[in-house]
Amino acid sequence: MINTNEVNSLIKLLDDPDQEIFQHVHNKLLSFGGEAIEYLEAAFTEAFDPILQERIANLVHEIQFGILKEDFKLWLHGGAFDLLQGVLILNRYQYPDLDEQKVINQIEAIKRDIWVQMMHEGSPVEQVKLINHVFYHIYGFSGNTTNHQDPQNSYISQVLETKKGNQISLAIIYSIIAQKLDIPVYGVNLPQHFILAYLDESMQSDFESGILFYINAFNKGAVFGRRDVDMFLNKLNLQPDRQFYEPCSNTDIVKRVLRNLISAYENLGQPEKVSELNELLAITEE
């Protein structure tokens, strides 16, 4: 437990004009980690000095970002098995106080509404049609075509609220729901467009042979085949490569989310965010 009086006394010194004193106080508060946040937030609401408010806000962000980095490392080094957990960690970058259980409940609700209608074993295409009906027509999810570069398109909590997202965020939600229903739908890292593949898990041996068809989550779950991927790559003047056809890892998915966010914040002219997100991207390469 940290000493309440000590923390509050240190917080009062955060606006000290002496840079050496400020740095010492800043580092001491930083060393308390997450335990200091509630004291800092309480002091922020009582502060009238804009310099003190700014320094408190920056320190809270620094502590939260440090915790996020550690959680992200643990998720990666633990095998990155739970995609939802990974994207929830990234979501905390912009929304540190997010109620993660709310996001989990929203996804469970969509899954339940699909499951209720899956009363009989349908073919893979019928399963996808049913998911599409609930996901796009009942819940109203769609690709954000008017403001595609908005960073909000990459935060799962915001996509679930607004029902609008980019290729990868819609594909992530779609695949998480499908996998919760034991439907083998996985992300494929196609250049300039993230898609999904429906796997026939009984014949997953040779190159790409286990894929029955592909799904475009950005275009209301449209189903298409390998030849369409060939034509898309041809338009981009890219040679066919195994990684463009087959499911990618959860680590690859979060790397792509991070790159989207970096690009979005570069466009908005926010170099501090770009720098921090590049730190997170570097962790994936460790």
Q: What is the pLDDT along the chain (286 residues), one digit of tens a residue?
A: 778 888 888 888 888 888 888 888 899 899 898 899 998 988 888 888 888 888 999 999 999 999 999 999 999 999 999 999 999 999 999 999 999 999 999 999 999 999 998 877 789 999 999 999 999 999 999 999 988 899 999 999 999 999 999 999 999 999 999 999 999 999 999 998 999 999 987 665 444 568 999 999 999 999 999 999 999 999 999 888 888 999 999 999 999 999 999 999 999 999 999 999 999 999 999 8
> Is the CB of residue 168 less than 8 Å from the CB of residue 257?
yes
> Is the CB of residue 84 less than 8 Å from the CB of residue 107?
yes
Residue-level pLDDT at 209:
61
> Is the CB of residue 244 less than 8 Å from the CB of residue 197?
no
Residue-level pLDDT at 153:
96
pTM for this prediction: 0.91
Residue-level pLDDT at 207:
43
> Is the CB of residue 26 less than 8 Å from the CB of residue 7?
no
Residue-level pLDDT at 284:
96
Ramachandran class of 33: left when φ > 0, alpha when ψ lies in -120 to 50, beta otherwise:
left
Residue-level pLDDT at 208:
53
The domain locations on the chain are: 4-77, 83-283
The Cα 4–Cα 99 span in angstroms is: 26
The terminus-to-terminus CA distance of the chain in angstroms comes to 33
The Cα 88–Cα 86 span in angstroms is: 5
